[in-house]
Each structure stands twice: as structure tokens, then as C-alpha cells.
């Protein structure tokens, strides 16, 4: 069980304030502008890089060196409290870094993760992208068709296929691509590859015009005979061959490449949703205290006050699930799909709380003049990406029952 006597330590409190101050002074004031532009907010990400928030050192410290697992959810909540689209732009490269960390050798980790944030030669801003989903296979990871074939003569892997809904897709320096190396093994025949900067054959396909998180760049990634050196196979060929041989013999192997990454990041995705929900709760509470109707603040009406009370309960419940999942992930891993529980709850909470916030603001809440409309649009993606609401239910039901529920 989680030690609920645990309090945030001094370093975590300092981190929380540091990120909140940046979110309050830089991110939130820019949210509306970049949502309207529907463009990647390079100037804001540059500012995050200048203070060290956008850096591999920060990711390593928050993700790997905190024994409680809480630093990353704390930072993400504050950043997404500022704005989800810009928050995703700042944190999007972290998914590529997580994809590398889930499979890489120590040498690969040190070579590729820093390049998700900074160009190794110039020191300028760089981006990373984790490429898993495909046009005909999102939640169905067993349906991936992007192939990776080994060329023994050149010690290269040749990648072909199209990836869809990729954060930073096509504009990144580092693309981490999940591909099929053995079609007969389904999702267990996958492996992850790093496509280095400037590799021929990789291009951006369609850029999506989205309902929410519009400041985050989302696009297709097209791989046309993309050749990468053998060292770009994460984990190495010897380890891959060993794993595939175990699968063919019917032995239990490691989880397939995409799910290893998603399982590790689900509490963080929950923290994104939590930040949005908290922003909507705080804003609508202040609005209800200031807005007068029938001669008194509308918060004095039980119909409003009780909505806010329920919203506060859902926000606190979500945070407890997220922190517990993050802690468990560090201590012993998930046994009952706690990461999926946290993401499921927080995603639902964000969608519902932002909808209630619009209701409290009434007609104003439905206009772009007030931010709750944007937060509601931003919230919805958390019921969909990195495993839909229904996929989380499936994962949880399997975990608690021990049955292969389809």
C-alpha cells in the first residue's frame, strides 16, 4: 500500500512552485494565442529550455532519480494548469524519451535521449516524437503494419509504413518508431527504432486540425525505405533475437514495445488531465464568488455550490490515484492496472469538471472570451490518447479478474 503519511519534500515543493510560476507568468497568458494559431509554440518552448524545464536533465531528474515517482506528476499538473496545448508542446518530447528509456541499452539512453531536447552539434532546441499509432491501428497495437526488415549486408534496418496521430510528428529531430519485425507474432513481434536527424525517407504527412490541444503539433509520419544503422534498434539485435525466440517457444516475454511505453506514462497523462480539471475548478469557483444574480453571489445557491463541491471531490480523488500509481510504478510496478485506473479517472474528471465549469459560467462559458471553453476542448483528448477510456477499462478488468476479457 502507498504510504499516505508521505508528504512532499522540500525539493518537490520547490519544483511545484518553480513550474507553477512559469505556468502562471508565461504559459497561461499565451494559451489563447497559440490555440488560435494552431501552431507549435517555439518561443514558449525556447523559454522553457532557457530555464531548464525543457531539458533531458530535468526529465532524468524528475522521472528516474526521484524514488517517490511524484516529481513528474507534480510538474505536469502545474504546467497543464497553465495551458494544455503549450504543456503538451513542452512535454511531448518526453514520450519519445520514455520510449527510448523503456527499451534502450544504457549507451543508447545516453546517446539518444539528450537529442530529443537539444541538437548535439549546435545546442539549439530539438524535438522528439514517439511513433506508435497507425491510420488503421490505434488501440489495436496488434494491427500495426509498419515493417522493419534487417539487411545483413549493410547492418541496417529498413522501415516502411505510416504512423498517425503523432505528437511532434515530422518536425522532430528524433523519431522513435515502433515497427513489426515478425508479423507472425502479432504485437509480441514488435521492436522500437530510433530514426536519427536528417535520415532520408522520413517525412511529415497530414497535419491534423484538432478539437483541442491545438498548440501541440500532431501529424502523420511517413516512412519510405528509411534506413537506420543496426545500433538504432533499441535494446540491440541480440536481445531482440533472444526475446523473439522465447515468444516462439511459448515462453513469457517482455511486453511489446508500445505498451511498455504507455504503461510507464499513464500516471503522467492522468496528471495532464488533472491540471486542466484543477484550472477549471479554481476559475469557476472564483467566478461563482464574484458573479451576482438575484442580489447575491451565485455560489450562495446550493445548485452552484454543490456542483463545485462535487468537482473538488473528483479533482482530489484523481490526484490521489495519480500519485499512488506514480509511487507504485517506482516501488514495485503495477499489479492491478493502477496506471490505467489513474488515467481513466483523471480523463473522465477533466472532461466532466470542465463541462460543469461551462455550466457555472453560463453563456460566458460557451464563448472563447473565457478560458473554460478551451479547457473543455483540451480535456477530451485524455479520454482518447495513449489508450482510450474503453481500453483502460479492458486493462483494468483483466487485471482484477485474471481473465482474458476481450
Strand partners, 306: none
**What does the pLDDT read at residue 289?**
98
- The confidence band for 102, taking pLDDT boundaries of 50, 70 and 90, is confident
Cβ contacts of residue 296 below 8 Å, gap of 6+? none
The three-state secondary structure class of 247 is helix
- The confidence band for 1, taking pLDDT boundaries of 50, 70 and 90, is very low
Q: Which of these, 358, 368, 361, lies nearest to 289 by C-alpha position?
A: 361
pTM for the whole thing?
0.93
Give me the mean pLDDT over the 112-121 stretch.
Answer: 94
Pairing state between β 174-180 and 128-131? parallel
Give me the mean pLDDT over the 104-114 stretch.
Answer: 95
Backbone angles phi, psi at 130, to 5 degrees: -105, 120
- The confidence band for 7, taking pLDDT boundaries of 50, 70 and 90, is confident
DSSP 8-state secondary structure symbol assigned to residue 38: T
Asked if 372 and 356 count as a contact pair (C-beta separation under 8 A), the reply is no
The whole-angstrom separation of Cα 99 and Cα 118 is: 17
Assigned C-alpha cell, 67: 524514488
Assigned C-alpha cell, 274: 488533472
Asked if 230 and 156 count as a contact pair (C-beta separation under 8 A), the reply is yes
**What does the pLDDT read at residue 299?**
98
pLDDT 10s digits, 242-277: 999 998 988 765 555 556 556 668 899 999 999 999
For residue 3, pLDDT over 60 is answered with no
For residue 97, pLDDT over 90 is answered with yes
The three-state secondary structure class of 218 is strand
CA distances from 26 to 12, 19, 333, 371 (A): 21, 10, 35, 16
Lowest-confidence segment of 5-14, 149-158, 184-193, 208-217 by average pLDDT: 5-14
**What does the pLDDT read at residue 353?**
98
Mean pLDDT for the chain?
93
**What does the pLDDT read at residue 2?**
47
**What does the pLDDT read at residue 61?**
85
For residue 70, pLDDT over 60 is answered with yes
**What does the pLDDT read at residue 406?**
79
Q: 50 an active-site residue?
A: no
Question: Percent of the chain having pLDDT more than 70?
Answer: 95
- The confidence band for 325, taking pLDDT boundaries of 50, 70 and 90, is very high
Asked if 112 and 145 count as a contact pair (C-beta separation under 8 A), the reply is no
For residue 16, pLDDT over 90 is answered with yes
CA distances from 398 to 338, 340, 406 (A): 12, 11, 9
Give me the mean pLDDT over the 82-94 stretch.
Answer: 97
Strands in 86-215 per DSSP E: 128-131, 147-151, 156-167, 174-180, 190-195, 202-207
**What does the pLDDT read at residue 260?**
58
Exactly one of 118, 314, 338, 386 is catalytic; which is it?
Answer: 386
Taken in order of first residue, the domains within the chain and their CATH numbers are 10-116 (1.10.540.10), 128-248 (2.40.110.10), 257-401 (1.20.140.10)
Amino acid at each position: 500500500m502507498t504510504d499516505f503519511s508521505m508528504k512532499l519534500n522540500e525539493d518537490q515543493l520547490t519544483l511545484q512552485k518553480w513550474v507553477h510560476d512559469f505556468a502562471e507568468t508565461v504559459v497561461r497568458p499565451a494559451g489563447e494565442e497559440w490555440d488560435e494559431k494552431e501552431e507549435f509554440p517555439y518561443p514558449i518552448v525556447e523559454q522553457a529550455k532557457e530555464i531548464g524545464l525543457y531539458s533531458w536533465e530535468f526529465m532524468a531528474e524528475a522521472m528516474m532519480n526521484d524514488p517517490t515517482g511524484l516529481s513528474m506528476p507534480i510538474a505536469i499538473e502545474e504546467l497543464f494548469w497553465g495551458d494544455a496545448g503549450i504543456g503538451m508542446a513542452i512535454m511531448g518530447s518526453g514520450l519519445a524519451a520514455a520510449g527510448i528509456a523503456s527499451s534502450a541499452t544504457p549507451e543508447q539512453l545516453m546517446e539518444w535521449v539528450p537529442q530529443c531536447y537539444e541538437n548535439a552539434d549546435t545546442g539549439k532546441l530539438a524535438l522528439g516524437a514517439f511513433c506508435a499509432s497507425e491510420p488503421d491501428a490505434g488501440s489495436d497495437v496488434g494491427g500495426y503494419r509498419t515493417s522493419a526488415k534487417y539487411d545483413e549486408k549493410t547492418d541496417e534496418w529498413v522501415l516502411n509504413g505510416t504512423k498517425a496521430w503523432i505528437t511532434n510528428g515530422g518536425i522532430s529531430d528524433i523519431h522513435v518508431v515502433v515497427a513489426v519485425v515478425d508479423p507472425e507474432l502479432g504485437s509480441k513481434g514488435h521492436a522500437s527504432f530510433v530514426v536519427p536527424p536528417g535520415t532520408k525517407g522520413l517525412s511529415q504527412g497530414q497535419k491534423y486540425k484538432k478539437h483541442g490541444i491545438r498548440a501541440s503539433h500532431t501529424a502523420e509520419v511517413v516512412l519510405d525505405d528509411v534506413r537506420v544503422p543496426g545500433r538504432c534498434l533499441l535494446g540491440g539485435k541480440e536481445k531482440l533475437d533472444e526475446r523473439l525466440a522465447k515468444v516462439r517457444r511459448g515462453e513469457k516475454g517482455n511486453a511489446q514495445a508500445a505498451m511498455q511505453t504507455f504503461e510507464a506514462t499513464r500516471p503522467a497523462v492522468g496528471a495532464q488531465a488533472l491540471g486542466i480539471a484543477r484550472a477549471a475548478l479554481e476559475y469557476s469557483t472564483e467566478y461563482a464568488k464574484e458573479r451576482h444574480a438575484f442580489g447575491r453571489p451565485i455560489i450562495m445557491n446550493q445548485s452552484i455550490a454543490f456542483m463545485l463541491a462535487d468537482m473538488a471531490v473528483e479533482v482530489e480523488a484523481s490526484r490521489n490515484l495519480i500519485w499512488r500509481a506514480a509511487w507504485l510504478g517506482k516501488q514495485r510496478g503495477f499489479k492491478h492496472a493502477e496506471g490505467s485506473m489513474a488515467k481513466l479517472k483523471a480523463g473522465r474528471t477533466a472532461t466532466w469538471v470542465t463541462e460543469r465549469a461551462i455550466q457555472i459560467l453560463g453563456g460566458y462559458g460557451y464563448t472563447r472570451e473565457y478560458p473554460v471553453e478551451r479547457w473543455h476542448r483540451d480535456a477530451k483528448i485524455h479520454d482518447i490518447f495513449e489508450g482510450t477510456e474503453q481500453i483502460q477499462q479492458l486493462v483494468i478488468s483483466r487485471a482484477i479478474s485474471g481473465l482474458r476479457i476481450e
